[in-house]
Structure 1
Amino acid sequence: MDDVECATSSHAPPSLGDSTLELALEQVRAAILRHCIKFSESFTRDGRLLDWCIDLRELLYRPVFSALIGRLLWDRIRQLDPDFIGGMTLSAEPVTLGILHAALAEGRDVNGFSVRRKPKAYGRRRQVEGMQPARHSRVVIVDDLFDGGQTVADVMSALQPFNAAVIGAAAVVDFCNPAFGSRVHHTVARSSLFTLADLGLQAAPAPPAQPLFVFGPLNQGDYTAPHSTPFMDEAGIVAASDTGYVVALDSLGNERWRIRIREHVKGVRTALLHCEDSILFCGYDGFFYCVDRHTGALRWATCLGAFIGASPVIDMTRGVAFVAVNHGNRRSDVAAIDLAHGAVIWTTPAAAESYARPALCEPDHVIVAANDGVVRSLSRADGSVRWEVKLPAQVKGWINVDGPTCFAGCFDGCLHALDAMTGKTLWRRKLANWLLVHPATVRGQVFVSSTQHVCSLSQADGSITWMAPADGRVTGVGIDPEGRSCVCASDRGSIYCLDVSSGRRRWEYHAQGAFRVTPAMSGTRCALPGYDGALYAFSLSGPADSSGGGGAGPDR
């Protein structure tokens, strides 16, 4: 049971004095995020699938919240001194009843009504049901949501035969659609408990940032789309190109060294990792590479298969890397590699190709996934299977393990939380029509994207704690080492720095090309490559002077 349910589990809602009004609003806001935000489950009248919707009926038919919402809305409209309250069936009815009970508790004599879309074809053949508004009575129209205002306008039209005076309109959530004002007369007082911005579904303006430096072109050739997350520390950045080279920059963006991999046309599509004084990465040529962090000198290169599209994970204690390797013909295996010499320690075959980054699970497991939806826990010592579960669709993003829980994004559109020791499903949360994500975790939260939002979910049960809008799909979220800021980027060219605790935008930047990688993070900076061929570096603290150096690097 979460805090929202515990806080409102008594038979009567708390009184709404000045000291508790803000608390009550926060209880309802949290409950809306928990119960009412639905992803890829709603359709338009012409059959198009919506990215998201708000279904407040999931909350309004819970008695405690219906009563609490009624008391909050009554607090907003009581000064209008209404005689009648009502709206369009079906959505307005629980709102109406909640407000009527709140008014009755104060001894106010207020009546309610409900409006049909069309007059009933039999019985009393009414369009306005319930109490019929008296002539010149004061009416407030209510609804669960305000969008374009057409529903309110339809209710006003149905009330015209009664000569009632519509003095106000109130809803739980107002989309603040400009069309509302063109359909509903400005003399009608309009109020709501929340706007989309209050719920994190619409962004507040954020300061524009400037890069510390832009290095490029990182990729030159027919195919310039980067897939590789750079490595970053306070000394600089090591980044990879899909056109086959790896480049190291200092903290000002000046090039220090550059190397090519064997099959440079296929490039590098995995994250770059750091172990002691080495940089490790996998090429799409099927080789696993180890180079010197300071000079780029090749230490070893081991051919593991036909191609490697999944980033490796490193066990620092054992000095071993675990890599998903593809062999063609939709076959793959997981290989354990000795980091000292690049030797293969063991391999475990899989029945499908793999593009999912593995994750370590303490004390001695590694969890892997593949395109057939199979998630497996392997022994780090010999690759033997500890447990295996099959999810409904492909798993192509990064696997993340935090304590006892394994998180995997699936092409069924759900983030799946599994017991890391048994594989048992703990919960799953629908976030999109399909999901290719790199979940990140900190402080009991898991950060993952939907189609047009970044969401912070409770690791315990998958409930939403905050949402932050994005202008497109976000693949991964980078979190700074102190767990205060997270950075993400969309496939429409936007970069956002968000507050980890609230999702509020600290700054944003808009580039020319798409971003489809997880940002690299250091103590004070972040960096990521874009589809425009450039590598961008930013200060996490906010807008910065862009004159810090760096520039074009020749493809040599």
Structure 2
Amino acid sequence: MTPSKREKELFKRIEQDALMRTNLKADEPIILRATQTGKLLNWLFDIRALVTKSDDLNLLAEVFWDKMEKQWPFQVGGLEVGAIPLVAAIVMKGREKNYNVNSFMVRKSRKKAGLCKQIEGTLTSEPVVVVDDLINSGHSMRRVVAAVEQEGQKVDTIFTYLDFERESAHEYMTAEGIKYRSVYKLSDFGLTYGSDQKERFFPDENTLKVEWVYEPPMPNYVFSVPHSGPAQDDDKIYYGADNGYFYAVDKRTGQKVWEFQTGESIKGIFSSPVLTEKGVIFGAYDGSVYHLDRNDGTVIWEAAVAEYVGSSPCLAPELNLVFIGLEHNIFNNRGALVALNLETGEKEWEQFTQEYMHSTPAYCAEERLVTVGCNDGKVLLLDAKSGRKYWEFIMEGPLKAAPTFDMKRRQIIAPAFDKNCYGIDIDSGEENFRFSAGHVFYNTALVVEDKLYVGSCDKNFYIYDLAKNKLLKTMPTTGRILSHPRYINNSVWFGANDGGVRQIDFEGNYLGGVLLPERPVTPVIYDEKINRYYVVTMGNFLVCMEPIPVEA
């Protein structure tokens, strides 16, 4: 089809004002870098340079209506920030044509205060057209699609001004039955997508689908930290929420079986529960550790042990003990690791620390050792029965998550807030190795054979060779990683704040997953009997997922 006069004019303006090329020989060198690798790029498109100019923005809106007017009626939306001026201009241009266009905007992350909306505006029953300046891998579009589907709507058409002609994006839209319109292709500008434009690791396709979501009342989106992770028995999922309630949910139907309200506190429950023979144990920010009956939620025992309990419990059944970190308001003794009697909740021993202990302890049954981190930057190794301290290892920042025992090499793995992941010798308390990330680690490492898997708030997932003390792979995502990795079905599962739940093999190759509209902030768990996966997201939503059947 022959381009219209307006399309030719827009092409000219994009080529002149939005297509940037690296030029190191210019009087004022133009340097374009990839955000993830820091490598020089040969070119990039800055179409947002056009949307800040009234004439160019008006032309963009006119070209949209030239292409889309025959599809009217529809509603228009997009992802912040780039789509905001485009959607506004399209709506106003529609008004000039006597079309009353409904519009909406999708936030990259849900608003943490006020109405806590993910979508600004109200979706109607009209077909949904999603607009953006360009489409590359399609990651941004998938986030919009997920948010729209959470509201019970489907995206009808995706409209962009520039198509990078990536197979993954087109395969996704075809699989989802989404129509696609673009004004220009990358090849129209004499360009092709090269390897130097490195993308972040993202779910290529959904291999899971959401079966149901349990949404407790009073969601809170303020605390972007690991939440209370789910635990399961044959019938129910158990987890706590930052509204102060603890829930038991039917794992097949998603219906609440019972709930338990803890005492008044600001943060509620961030402690991940563990199951006992007949009960479930967790801590809460009201300062108590609770042991509840799994059948009906009645209290077996309650131990009021501190001002706050953000740590998760760790069981030593053969010692009849449960370990958990505490937060006190005692000068110079603000934290502690406590051992409670598993049957009564009575205190057996307590090891104080200078600062709060938010870290979750880890227990080694074969040698009856317990290790834990602290906000003062120390990792402790203690005798599990007596609480006697063997040694302490000092890092340059807090350990907030749980350390991990690597008994094959007799070391403890400690990913810390000083941006380092440490290997600490069990016998001497000396450092064996460390490797660094670009931001803090708020993640518990997974050790499988000779490999270590851990995520960071720098949005990267790391694979480290413990036998050779060598970093094997850095896998970039588009969100901070607060979901602790788990070993499921001979593979590694984890979530990230971009909404992606990912399954990878031991070498780091993508096997499957799903893109959720909310951020997964707990480990993924799996029920082999009914072939379902579960994770908790920001807002305390418990999400049940099951595999999408593979067509023969």
Range into which the TM-score falls when normalised by the shorter chain? 0.5 to 0.7
Give CA deviations for 1:388-432 in whole Å, capped at 9, x if unaligned. 110122211221112122111112211111112322211111122
Q: Quick one: distance in 2 between partners of 1:191 and 1:281?
A: 50
* Structure 1 position 463, deviation (Å): 2.5
Q: Quick one: distance in 1 between partners of 2:374 and 2:548?
A: 40
Give 1:263's aligned residue: 264
Q: For 1:171-186, what aligned pairs fall within 5 Å after superposition?
A: none
Which residue among 515, 521, 539 is the counterpart of 1:516?
Answer: 521
Q: Percent identity?
A: 20
Q: Quick one: distance in 2 between partners of 1:180 and 1:264?
A: 55
1:338 and 2:337 correspond: no
Question: Is contact 2:463–2:473 with CA below 8 Å preserved after alignment?
Answer: yes
Q: For 1:60-209, what aligned pairs fall within 5 Å after superposition?
A: 196=198, 202-203=201-202, 205-207=204-206, 209=208
1:228 and 2:228 correspond: yes
Give 1:385's aligned residue: 389
TM-score under structure 1 length normalisation: 0.60
* Structure 1 position 309, deviation (Å): 1.3
* Structure 1 position 313, deviation (Å): 1.3
Q: For 1:78-477, what aligned pairs fall within 5 Å after superposition?
A: 196=198, 202-203=201-202, 205-207=204-206, 209-217=208-216, 219-220=218-219, 227-252=227-252, 253-263=254-264, 266-328=267-329, 329=331, 331-361=334-364, 362-403=366-407, 404-450=410-456, 451-477=458-484
Give CA deviations for 1:264-308 in whole Å, capped at 9, x if unaligned. 654111111112221000011110100111221110000111101
Q: Quick one: distance in 1 between partners of 2:391 and 2:377?
A: 14
Question: Is contact 1:319–1:339 with CA below 8 Å preserved after alignment?
Answer: yes
Letter in 2 for 1:247: Y
Secondary structure of 1:474 counterpart: coil
* Structure 1 position 462, deviation (Å): 4.1
Q: Quick one: distance in 1 between partners of 2:231 and 2:482?
A: 17
Greater RCO (CA < 8 Å, at least 6 residues apart): 1
Q: For 1:48-67, what aligned pairs fall within 5 Å after superposition?
A: 52=37
Which residue among 534, 541, 548 is the counterpart of 1:534?
Answer: 541
Question: Is contact 2:314–2:362 with CA below 8 Å preserved after alignment?
Answer: yes
Secondary structure of 1:306 counterpart: coil
Gaps of 5+ in 2: 1-28, 41-183
* Structure 1 position 510, deviation (Å): 2.4
Q: Quick one: distance in 2 between partners of 1:537 and 1:372?
A: 37
Q: 1:181 to 1:415 in 2, by over 3 A?
A: farther
Question: Is contact 1:212–1:544 with CA below 8 Å preserved after alignment?
Answer: no
Give CA deviations for 1:122-158 in whole Å, capped at 9, x if unaligned. xxxxxxxxxxxxxxxxxxxxxxxxxxxxxxxxxxxxx
* Structure 1 position 320, deviation (Å): 0.7
* Structure 1 position 357, deviation (Å): 1.0
Letter in 2 for 1:490: A
* Structure 1 position 476, deviation (Å): 3.0
Gaps of 5+ in 1: 1-43, 56-177, 546-556
Question: Is contact 2:335–2:353 with CA below 8 Å preserved after alignment?
Answer: yes
Question: Is contact 2:207–2:512 with CA below 8 Å preserved after alignment?
Answer: no
Give CA deviations for 1:37-91 in whole Å, capped at 9, x if unaligned. xxxxxxx999999665579xxxxxxxxxxxxxxxxxxxxxxxxxxxxxxxxxxxx
Question: Is contact 1:414–1:432 with CA below 8 Å preserved after alignment?
Answer: no
Secondary structure of 1:434 counterpart: coil
* Structure 1 position 202, deviation (Å): 4.1
Letter in 1 for 2:435: R
Q: 1:375 to 1:191 in 2, by over 3 A?
A: closer
Give 1:506's aligned residue: 512
Aligned length: 369
Question: Is contact 1:439–1:447 with CA below 8 Å preserved after alignment?
Answer: yes
Q: Quick one: distance in 1 between partners of 2:282 and 2:275?
A: 9
Secondary structure of 2:318 counterpart: coil
Q: Quick one: distance in 1 between partners of 2:342 and 2:412?
A: 25
Q: Quick one: distance in 2 between partners of 1:475 and 1:224?
A: 12
Question: Higher mean Cα deviation, 455-464 or 46-55?
Answer: 46-55
* Structure 1 position 518, deviation (Å): 2.6
Question: Is contact 2:444–2:485 with CA below 8 Å preserved after alignment?
Answer: no
TM-score under structure 2 length normalisation: 0.60
Give CA deviations for 1:358-414 in whole Å, capped at 9, x if unaligned. 111340211111111111111112211101110122211221112122111112211
Larger Rg: 1
